[in-house]
Amino acid sequence: MLPGHNRYPYSPITRRADYSWPGGRRLAVYIALNVEHFAFGEPPGADFSAPAVPPHHRSYAWREYGNRVGIWRLLDLFEELSLPVALLVNTAVYDFCPEAIEPFRKRGDEIVGHGISNRGSLRQADLAEADERALIAECTAALARHEGKPPLGWLGPWISQSRATPDLLKEAGYRYMLDWHVDDQPIWFATRAGPILAVPYPAMEVNDSPAFIYRRVSEETFADMVVDQFDEMLEQSVKQPLVCPISLHTFIAGHPFRLRRLRRALRHVAQHGNTIWLTRPGRIAEHIERLPKGTVAFP
């Protein structure tokens, strides 16, 4: 046998108990907006062109555009289409540009833990367990202080996990995580403190960051990806309840020429608002928790 993780058993989606989302709807759709802040002078991560030399001001400025401009353009779009949003927040944002969070808080949007910063030195997979526990505790305390309550969910910076991350998140009071896009339905993960829910998140697919930076898709192609993913899952959801997440970053999707194409795609999704569940991942997790015992099997 190859090494495994013993977090969940294999389960084909065609052989599970059936259920529906609120109102008898079959497809849950949520938008995750990554709101991030980076350290100046350090390599901030992937770039479209050749690696910048220190102090990496070009890549830093590109990302900073998202907090100064992109997030506000995206907010206008979400307001225009009446779309709920989940903000995946680096807590460093509260220190640098807290104004960016205020309008989403007033809208009632969900705030999801996303580490302190997406700086490379804070990848959870690279941390000792005690250091990772301290990072999660620091972020949780900051989010609770600013939002008046601790977050329900977590996505690690760089979508990075150590072998202990699910255990540490459960022990810190988190009810779901987004780091494992292993399914189109929420599934339970085993941890040493009891089960934690994995809600689907598009780490590799309908996510503007890998789409544009690594795959070099066009803006039109990404809009088609959103529409095609949604349309196909809407048809598939007749057989099983499904989750269709869409991941965006302020410094990528918030540029005008990308926003123009994204508006077309999200307008298509919003036009189905009477037949789908436009929601947030925390609401999805709460719905799963309320289902009859055994509907979504524990590992």
**Structure tokens that stand for 82 in this block:** 């009446």
Other C-beta atoms closer than 10 Å to the C-beta of 40 total 12
**Are the CB atoms for 78 and 110 separated by under 8 Å?**
no
- Burial label for 217, CB within 10 Å (0-12, 13-18, 19+), is middle
**Structure tokens that stand for 234 in this block:** 């809407």
Per-residue pLDDT tens digits of the chain, which is 299 residues long:
899 999 999 999 999 999 999 999 999 999 999 999 999 998 887 887 777 788 989 899 999 999 999 999 999 999 999 999 999 999 999 999 999 999 999 999 999 999 999 876 689 999 999 999 999 999 999 999 999 999 999 999 999 999 999 999 999 999 999 999 999 999 999 999 999 999 999 999 999 999 999 999 999 999 999 999 999 999 999 999 999 999 999 999 999 999 999 999 999 999 999 999 999 999 999 999 999 999 999 88
Q: Which fold has domain 20-38+53-290?
A: TIM Barrel (3.20.20)
pLDDT at 121: 66
Other C-beta atoms closer than 10 Å to the C-beta of 103 total 15
β-strands 27-35, 242-249: how paired? parallel
Q: Which residues contact 166 (CB under 8 A, 6 or more apart)?
A: 7, 177, 189, 190, 191, 196
Q: How far apart are the first and last CA of the chain?
A: 19
**Structure tokens that stand for 178 in this block:** 């987004």
